[in-house]
């Protein structure tokens, strides 16, 4: 089995590299995959953009055995069932790990626009609880939630095969 990943700002890449270091599996960026890997079993890691796992469509023609999404939301905020159905994962084993985000000022183009709109919506809410205040802070100032321990369920699944 090999690891393939899609990452724009580097958080998912860090998880993919950690997983490779822990398991000894070979690591590929999605765009590096070629016909040579067509029969390889793949564990795919991709970041969430408005609930959609980035890079997933590019690996669908490969032999994907597990999918791991990363995002700024906590595991409780990012409901697995919703992500599975939104991304048409069917019965493929799914994992979610919280990653992080760059500060808004370091994002560019459409990503920056979407995140600033999201922050605006959150700020407009009247009764902001702790989670909403934290989410606004993460968007504006950035947040790094990458932790090796978050990969434990995925590593356990790999070991159980």
Ligand X SMILES: Cc1cc2nc3c(=O)[nH]c(=O)nc-3n(C[C@H](O)[C@H](O)[C@H](O)COP(=O)(O)O)c2cc1C
150 binds ligand X per the rule CB under 6 A: no
62 binds ligand X per the rule CB under 6 A: no
Dihedral of alpha carbons 14, 152, 103, 44, sign: positive
Residues 6+ apart with CB under 8 A from 131: 77
Q: Which residue's beta carbon is nearest to the bound ligand X?
A: 71
Q: How far is the CB of 138 from ligand X (least distance, A)?
A: 9
Q: Are 19 and 58 in contact (CB under 8 A)?
A: no
* Contact pattern for ligand X over residues 4 through 43, marking x by CB under 6 A: ---xxxxxxx------------------------------
Q: Whose CA is closest to 154, among 9, 38, 44, 33?
A: 44
- Residue 109 token pair: 């183009």
> Which of 29/38 has CB closer to ligand X?
29
115 binds ligand X per the rule CB under 6 A: yes
For helices 109-124 and 130-141, give the axis angle rounded to 10 degrees: 150
Q: How far is the CB of 158 from ligand X (least distance, A)?
A: 20
Contacts with ligand X by CB under 6 A lie at: 7-13, 47-51, 70-73, 78, 99-101, 107, 111, 114-115
């Amino acid at each position: 089995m090999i690891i393939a990943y899609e990452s724009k700002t580097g958080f998912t890449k860090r998880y993919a590299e950690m997983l490779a270091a822990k398991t000894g599996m070979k690591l590929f960026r999605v765009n590096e995959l070629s016909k040579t890997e067509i029969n390889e079993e793949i564990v795919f890691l991709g970041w969430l953009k408005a609930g959609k796992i980035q890079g997933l469509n590019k690996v669908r023609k490969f032999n994907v055995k597990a999918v791991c999404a990363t995002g700024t939301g906590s595991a409780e905020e990012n409901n697995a069932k919703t992500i599975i159905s939104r991304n048409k994962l069917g019965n493929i084993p799914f994992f979610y790990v919280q990653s992080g985000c760059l500060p808004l000022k370091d994002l560019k183009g459409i990503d920056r626009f979407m995140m600033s709109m999201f922050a605006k919506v959150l700020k407009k809410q009247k009764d902001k609880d702790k989670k909403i205040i934290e989410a606004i802070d993460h968007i504006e100032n950035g947040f790094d939630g990458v932790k090796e321990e978050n990969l434990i369920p995925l590593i356990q699944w790999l070991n159980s095969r």
